[in-house]
């Protein structure tokens, strides 16, 4: 059996945008809406997890008064 490749953040976001467009179009059946909703929730969770991982690994590089580079942890308001 083939292993299903996990979509990248960009692929998941593009698929999520297509689902939203289709749902906003208003031409889907209730069954299609429910299926799209489930897929959308799954894709949005993948995107949020990817963004969370990226946020936790980001650092800010700055130059101090001696023109030396310092690495500081990124602080997000509300964390």
Condensed to tens digits (0 to 9), the pLDDT of residues 28-67 reads 999 999 999 999 999 999 999 998 888 776 666 666 677 7
CA angle 44, 49, 55 (to 5 degrees): 125
Q: Of all helices (H) and strands (E), which one includes residue 63?
A: strand 59-63
Question: Residue 1: which residues within 8 A CB-CB, separation 6 or more?
Answer: none
User: pTM (2 decimals)?
Assistant: 0.67
17 vs 65, more confident: 17
pLDDT at 5: 81
Q: Where are the domains of the chain?
A: 9-73
Q: Which pLDDT score is estimated for 60?
A: 64
């Amino acid at each position: 059996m083939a292993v299903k490749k996990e979509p990248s953040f960009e692929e998941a976001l593009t698929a999520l945008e297509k689902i939203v467009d289709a749902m906003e179009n208003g031409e889907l059946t209730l069954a299609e809406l429910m299926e799209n909703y489930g897929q959308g929730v799954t894709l949005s969770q993948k995107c949020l997890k990817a963004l969370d991982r990226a946020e936790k690994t980001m650092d800010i590089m700055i130059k101090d008064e001696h023109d030396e580079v310092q690495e500081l942890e990124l602080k997000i308001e509300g964390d």
